[in-house]
Amino acid sequence: MSDPMRIRLQSQGELTTVKILMSHEMESGQRKDDSGKIVPIWNIQDVIATLNGKVVMTAEWGGGVSKNPFFQFVLKGTKAGDKLSVTWRDNRGDSRTDEAVIS
Q: Is residue 7 close enough to count as binding another protein by CB under 8 A? A: yes
User: What distance in Å separates the CA atoms of residue 20 and residue 5, rounded to the nearest whole number?
Assistant: 7
At 12, the amino acid letter reads Q
- Write down how long the chain is: 103
Q: Is residue 35 close enough to count as binding another protein by CB under 8 A? A: no
Please identify, using beta-carbon distances, which residue of 68 and 92 lies nearer to another protein: 68
- Please, are residues 79 and 14 in contact by the beta-carbon 8 Å criterion? yes
Site for another protein, rule CB under 8 A: 3-11, 15, 19, 21, 23, 25, 28-30, 45-46, 48-51, 53-77, 85, 87, 89, 95-103
